[in-house]
């Protein structure tokens, strides 16, 4: 499936189907034990990606690519960064805007749309937490190439790792009619992503960081340096 078609499916899912689920998951409201593991995993991954950036982001422009309900956005702004917070779901962007502490409003620009849009400008850093997990290797490589050309330092992102559990879930998801599926995570290994970078002539280096596993949350942090 092409990048544009996957993007449309992701928009429909998060803007129409899963908005309330994500609003609750990313709050302090009680959730099920399974979703609590996902919440903890996402908290740990957010902390890991933030650790790759300077503590003081004053003067830096950062793209929060796939900002969701704005947890990463708020932390980047609290460090002094000038944040462009982008998500394909207008509903999630509205939640992020409402949740942002009032004293940080001057440091954040929200935008509902494609995180790869050239009109967003250039950045010192890019963070794409769990926003590329639905795409194939070629699409990820091309996205990294697009973002890398507009990034002064590095792009930190996550992928679904190729574990036996995730591969089983991915194969099971292919059995459903395409119209009935929610967006399915596409598992990747670092070497296959490097191969995709070479195949698409995307220049830059890829580094595998830490894998976060918390119950039903399994995600691999990566760093791309153009």
Q: What are the residues facing 154 on neighbouring strands?
A: none
77 compared with 184, residue with greater pLDDT: 77
pLDDT band of residue 149 (cuts 50, 70, 90) is very high
Q: Write down the pLDDT at residue 167.
A: 44
Q: Write down the pLDDT at residue 14.
A: 84
pLDDT of 175 above 60? no
Q: Write down the pLDDT at residue 164.
A: 52
Each residue's pLDDT tens digit, 55-70: 999 999 999 999 999 9
Determine the Cα–Cα distance for residues 154 and 85; give it in Å rounded to an integer: 17
Domains and CATH numbers, the chain: 3-225 (3.40.50.150)
- Ranges 46-55, 144-153, 180-189: which has the least confidence: 180-189
Q: Write down the pLDDT at residue 151.
A: 98
Strand pairing of 155-161 and 187-188?
A: parallel
Tokens for 125, please give them. 């850093």
- Ranges 9-13, 82-86, 128-132: which has the least confidence: 9-13
pTM of this structure? 0.92
pLDDT band of residue 181 (cuts 50, 70, 90) is very low
Strand pairing of 108-112 and 61-65?
A: unpaired
Distance from the first to the final alpha carbon of the chain: 26
Tokens for 52, please give them. 């790759």
Mean pLDDT of 16-35: 90
Determine the Cα–Cα distance for residues 135 and 213; give it in Å rounded to an integer: 20
């Amino acid at each position: 499936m092409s990048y544009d078609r996957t993007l449309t499916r992701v928009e429909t899912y998060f803007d129409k189907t899963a908005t309330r689920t994500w609003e609750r998951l990313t709050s302090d409201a009680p959730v099920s034990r399974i979703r609590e593991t996902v919440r903890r995993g996402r908290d740990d991954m957010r902390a890991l990606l933030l650790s790759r950036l300077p503590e003081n982001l004053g003067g830096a422009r950062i793209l929060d690519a796939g900002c969701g309900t704005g947890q990463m956005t708020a932390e980047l702004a609290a460090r002094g960064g000038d944040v462009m917070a982008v998500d394909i779901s207008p509903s999630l962007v509205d939640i992020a805007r409402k949740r942002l502490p009032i004293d940080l409003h001057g440091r954040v620009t929200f935008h509902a749309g494609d995180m790869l849009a050239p009109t967003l400008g250039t950045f010192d850093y890019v963070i794409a937490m769990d926003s590329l997990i639905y795409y194939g290797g070629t699409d990820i490589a091309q996205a990294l190439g697009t973002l890398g050309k507009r990034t002064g330092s590095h792009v930190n992102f996550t992928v679904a790792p190729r574990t036996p559990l995730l591969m089983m879930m991915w194969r099971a998801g292919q059995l459903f009619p395409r119209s009935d599926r929610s967006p399915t995570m596409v598992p990747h290994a670092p070497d296959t992503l490097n191969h995709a970078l070479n195949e698409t002539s995307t220049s830059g280096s890829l580094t595998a960081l830490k894998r976060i596993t918390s119950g039903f949350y399994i995600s691999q942090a990566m760093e791309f340096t153009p």
